[in-house]
Amino acid sequence: MSFSVIITAGGIGKRMGSAIPKQFIEVSGLPILMHTILCFHRFDSRTQIIITLPNDWKPYWEELLVTHSFIVPHVVVDGGIERYDSIKNALSVCQFDLIAVHDGVRPLVSNETIQNCLDLATEEGSAIPTLPIKESIRKTDGFTTKSLERKDYLTVQTPQFFTAEMLKNAYNIPFHEGITDDASLVEEAGFSVGITTGNEENIKITTQFDLKIVSLLLK
């Protein structure tokens, strides 16, 4: 089943401390965002790929496309002030009844993870990749801490898949600070969210340390 994927690359990566947004940092011969796009193109070349970019950085992206002779078809839409705004902009150009949302700085999502999500979303209408927590975890209230059962918690990755109807209904909810990801917004709209297994290499690059790990894995 074909789907649209919105790859969010609207941030400027302040925590990375880089001169350019982290999605444009070159690793193993290509900018990170190009590696991410290729994950979905190689999975299925029929996938509609939509990327959200900061408006000021669109000319730079065009230069990168020429420099790296990158010809994978994709649509570019304006990145908004918030991730929420970027995705809402992208929804208007999605062509398929199933839509995935993926972080532009997760260039190591596996075919298996994409397939797991696609299969579950085709059956149930939604799917997000998750992994069990390995470390012990504690909850703090600012003064004391309390041990929690890690088996009761999961880490959440992207791509997150939803039917177009479900996701568009969710994005009718006005933006608020409590929106942590698309799944949380979909749940707020009254829909259930299915979970499936992600892959450990599917790291979101946020810090220089993350960048070092991904650089090694891409090599």
Cis amide bond preceding 159, omega within 30: yes
Residue 74's alpha-carbon distances to 3, 43, 175, in angstroms, are: 13, 15, 27
Q: What are phi and psi of 111, to 5 degrees?
A: -60, -40
Question: In what helix (H) or strand (E) does residue 65 lie, and over which residues does it extend?
Answer: helix 58-67
CA dist., res. 54 & res. 78, Å (int): 6
Predicted confidence band of residue 16 (pLDDT cuts 50, 70, 90):
low
**Which pLDDT tens digit goes with each residue over 25-39?**
999 999 999 999 999
Domains of the chain: 4-218 (3.90.550.10)
Taking alpha carbons only, the member of 214, 205, 213, 217 closest to residue 17 is 205
Report, as an integer, the average pLDDT of 86-92: 95
Q: Write down the mean pLDDT value for the chain.
A: 94
Extract the tokens encoding 34: 């190009």
